[in-house]
Chain A
Amino acid sequence: MTPLLTFKDVWVEYGDKIVLEQINLTIEEGAFVSVIGPSGAGKSSLLRLALGQEAPSRGTLMLDSVPLPPECGPDRGVVFQHYSVFPHLTALGNVMFGLECAQSPLLAKLTGAARRQAREEAEAMLAEVGLKEAMHSYPAQMSGGMQQRLAIAQALIKRPRILLLDEPFGALDPGIRNDMHQLITRLWTDYQLTVIMVTHDIGEAFKLGTRVLTLDKWRHDPHAPHRYGAKVVYDIPLERNKQETLPEADAATPLSIVPDDAGITIDRFDNN
């Protein structure tokens, strides 16, 4: 598999507070990477780096072997826990937004045949996430689960290289969350997506991911707790969740959650 996103010795520091240190990661195309860890361990910082919202203090990020500019771009889609959709646009308008921006730089509005085509594409995408009936509703009229479905559709219409999910299902109730797990797994397979998902829910991380990263502080200095940042302390590949279309997929998946060659045997301090 080809490396899609590479972190090379990445550090994130705010003043003298170190949040992330020595992050060396290679994320391969088609991977579904779950990121877990305690609060304040830099999960969201890691996602902000990948999104381009923040630049690393040290080190480089490469997307397709090209350094990533510290700015968001259409090659990376994102779904946040809240506020991911535009409240002033209908579901259809929200999904069409990405197409309109690309095709109409001046007004970001389409007319005629171009509009019809964009509308058809957006409708198909809404049907894909199960929102065909709610096409003309505003986000304020939708439930939390529907809004997250819409946010996913809105991001996917741009066919991003990577989909970044920041606790996307954290605010949903368990039943809806389960539906969303099925949806995101299906979309991940159908669209051959590469996903990085930050979550608080360890069960969710292992259920969905092909790889689970655990971020945590690797050392604690009681006199200067801020001087040690978080590292990747566990990096656990999960064979059983691999996309079926990929040759690595193994039909006889081991029953244990953590394969023998991963997890507990990993050296906490020097696994990068």
Chain B
Amino acid sequence: MRWVNRHVSRSRSVMMGAIPIVLLVVLYLVIAAERHAANPSDKILPLPGAMVDAMWGLLFVPDQLSGRLLFWADTLASLQRLFLGLGISTLSALLVGLLLGLLPPVRATFGTLVTGIAVIPPIALLPILFIAFGLGETAKVALIVIGIAPFMIRDIAGHVSTLPREQILKAQTLGASTWQLMIRVALPQVLPRLIEAVRLSLGPAWVFLISAEAIAADIGLGYRIFLVRRYLAMDVILPYVAWIALLAAMIDFVLVWTNRKAFPWAHGGRR
């Protein structure tokens, strides 16, 4: 049987998906154990016990300097920046994307500008953001917004402009004004795509968040891993990276689930 025709059942695909992950973990443990056999104070590949010890302090013991539980404070600060950046980007993508996609004069006027901003590498703008907004929260959120909003705007505008011409004409024969077309025809049809765009932007958003935190911050997941790097503290960095991965996966899952529940019409009417 050809491989393209080999369908995998759901339970088996879960099992098969777990295999490479388990293998990687086992490989890590074997190599780490080997290194520790040669050098018991090895810091590069810490054993699980060392990670638990290091994380215990961050999770449950208040920091001597600030009195905060660092792990939770880091998570909260990072998520706040991330969601603020994502939220502003999403709203502006919706608004600007609808206007650009639906109204030819707006597209003619601002289309080039949006494309121009989108091709600038956002990290190159980071110094400008720090100069303009200082080293506080604003610059970090602004970096996320500048990093992902242009892409999302272009995606939404592109999707709106591919709505069948027939639909736009039909709506007009039913008496719809430009405004009514925008809120009743284009807006609802673009929402599933918007959620999809947020999902795709989530990866870049994390990149910009951690970059900004690495350069100038006093709290945050990215700040922490770059701080402890100085002490080769892999026992903190690895759990933090795993935590970031878990957070990203959970946000992605929630977005997929919301998309399916909220827009049954976009998925063949199934709920």
Contacts and interface: CB of A to CB of B under 8 A. Distances in A.
Contacts of B173: 51, 72-74, 76-78, 155, 158, 160
A102 interface: yes
Interface centre among B167, B170, B171, B176 (most CB of A within 10 A): B170
Interface string B153-193: 00000000000101101111111110110011100110000
Contacts of A71: 172
B121 interface: no
Contacts of A266: none
Contacts of B172: 71-73
A102 B269 contact: no
Interface in A75-133: 76-78, 80, 82-89, 97-98, 100-102, 105-108
Given A138-B265, A141-B268, A154-B174, 6 more contacts: A71-B172, A73-B173, A101-B174, A140-B268, A155-B170, A158-B174
A109 B184 CA distance: 9
A26 interface: no
Given A88-B263, A138-B269, A101 B175 contact: yes
Contacts of A84: 166-167, 170
Interface centre among B164, B264, B268, B269 (most CB of A within 10 A): B269
Interface size for chain B: under 10, 10 to 19, 20 to 34, or 35 or more residues? 20 to 34
B256 interface: no
Interface centre among B175, B185, B263, B265 (most CB of A within 10 A): B175
Interface centre among A87, A141, A160 (most CB of B within 10 A): A87
A16 to B, nearest CB: 25
A141 B267 CA distance: 10
Nearest to A164: B173
B246 interface: no
A87 B263 CA distance: 11
Interface in B176-223: 176-177, 179-180, 183-185, 188-189
29 contacts: A51-B169, A53-B169, A71-B172, A72-B169, A72-B173, A73-B173, A76-B173, A80-B166, A82-B164, A84-B167, A85-B170, A87-B266, A88-B263, A88-B266, A97-B174, A97-B176, A101-B184, A102-B175, A105-B177, A107-B183, A108-B184, A137-B269, A138-B265, A140-B265, A141-B269, A151-B170, A154-B174, A155-B173, A158-B174
A98 B171 CA distance: 8
Contacts of A138: 264-265, 269
A51 to B, nearest CB: 7
Nearest to B267: A140
A100 B184 CA distance: 10
Contact of B269 (A82, A140, A151): A140
Nearest to B174: A98
B138 to A, nearest CB: 35
B175 A83 contact: no
Contacts of B166: 80, 82-84
Nearest to B188: A88
Contacts of A97: 171, 174, 176, 184
B183 A108 contact: yes
A88 B183 CA distance: 12
Contacts of A100: 184
A209 B171 CA distance: 27
Nearest to A105: B177
A-B pairs, 5 with minimum CB distance: A72-B172, A83-B164, A98-B174, A74-B175, A83-B166
Contacts of A102: 175
Given A83-B164, A108-B184, A140-B268, A101 B176 contact: yes
Nearest to A77: B173
Interface in B212-271: 263-266, 268-269
Contacts of B177: 101, 105
A89 to B, nearest CB: 8
